[in-house]
Amino acid sequence: MTSETEHLSEQPAAPASPWRSRARTFYWLLRRELWEHRVLYVAPAAVAGLGIVGNLIGSLHLSNATRAARIADPSIYDYMEPYGFVAGTVFLCGVVVSVLYCLGALHGERRDRSILFWKSLPVSDLMTVLSKAAAPLLLMPVIVFALVVAAQLITVALTSLIWLANGFDPRLMWAQMDLPFLWAVLAYGLTFMALWHAPIFAWLLLVSAWARRVPFIWAVAPLAAIAIIEHLAFGGASDPDVMKHRFTGGFSGPFTVGSRGEAPVSKLADLDPARLFGQPGVWIGLIVAALFLFAAVRLRRSRGAI
């Protein structure tokens, strides 16, 4: 029995499945992006912190008479407005950071010659490019959502303490707030915007893999040329505004009634996910994004250090 046990213990461990191995590699590549590009979470966190400080200062300067008036007539003040503003500013910061990240993601490793080190590791160009695409499309929405929720909860806690210190019941303020609704709409919007803006981020990664200098100019110039040609060819009432819609459609659709870009949503029933995610533009954009990423993989495979 003992010899049989020893024999079994000497058997080599079963190798991990290829899928599990790739998933583990992808996980560590994502961690690498967060470690090398701390701006992905530091900048949005700084904006969220400024939002907390701004709301705190506003609450401290609020007079008791104003608090009493708002309690007596809740219609004179929208308690959700400052929380929505914080969510919007953190999100916009995330968009700016994502654009700058994509422009430098593949260009930077060629410029500082770190690509020579990373290519010496047993990691494919496909996995590397996909991990970089996941930063704006997967990591950033999660970071923005987590920071917004944390900032809003901290703001509610601090504001409630200020109300208590001034002799007011914070539950009267809470009754006028619906943060779970705001969080649901935010998650809904971030999911759509990640899909809608996928071809934009993929294009920036492609340019980052191709350009030797100033990738920003090479990324913007073709888009500006397309917009000018589009306007000259289809100007007037029939102007399709394809480029404009690609850049702005992700902001207006998920946060308006019926996804029509008109009145802002005020309840979950106003959302229309079938209409929003069923747009041909969503799926066409994903196909274009896949083509751009495929080209970026091929370029990374053939391009070396600058």
Provide the residue range defining the domain that includes 260.
20-302
What domain count does the chain have?
1
| pLDDT tens sequence across 168-209 | 888 888 888 888 989 999 999 999 999 999 999 999 999 999
d(CA 105, CA 135): 10
Residue 176 lies in a domain: yes
Residue 294 lies in a domain: yes
Residue 149 lies in a domain: yes
Residue 13 lies in a domain: no
At 238, the pLDDT band (50, 70, 90 cuts) reads very low
| Closest of 286, 78, 101, 270 to residue 194, by C-alpha | 286
d(CA 136, CA 148): 17
At 242, the pLDDT band (50, 70, 90 cuts) reads confident
Return the exposure string of 238-252: e unless at least 16 CB atoms fall within 10 Å of the residue's CB, then b.
eeeeebeebeebbbe
At 163, the pLDDT band (50, 70, 90 cuts) reads confident
d(CA 97, CA 84): 20
Dihedral (CA of 136, 141, 146, 148) sign: positive
Percent of the chain surpassing pLDDT 70: 90
Does position 151 have pLDDT exceeding 80, yes or no? Answer: yes
Residue 3 lies in a domain: no
Return the exposure string of 165-184: e unless at least 16 CB atoms fall within 10 Å of the residue's CB, then b.
eeebeeeebeeeeebeebbe
d(CA 111, CA 166): 57
DSSP state, residue 176:
T
d(CA 158, CA 55): 9
DSSP state, residue 121:
S
Tell me the one-letter amino acid at 306. Answer: I
Dihedral (CA of 173, 176, 181, 183) sign: negative
Residue 4 lies in a domain: no
Residue 55 lies in a domain: yes
DSSP 141-171: HHHHHHHHHHHHHHHHHHHHHHHHHTT--TH
DSSP state, residue 17:
P
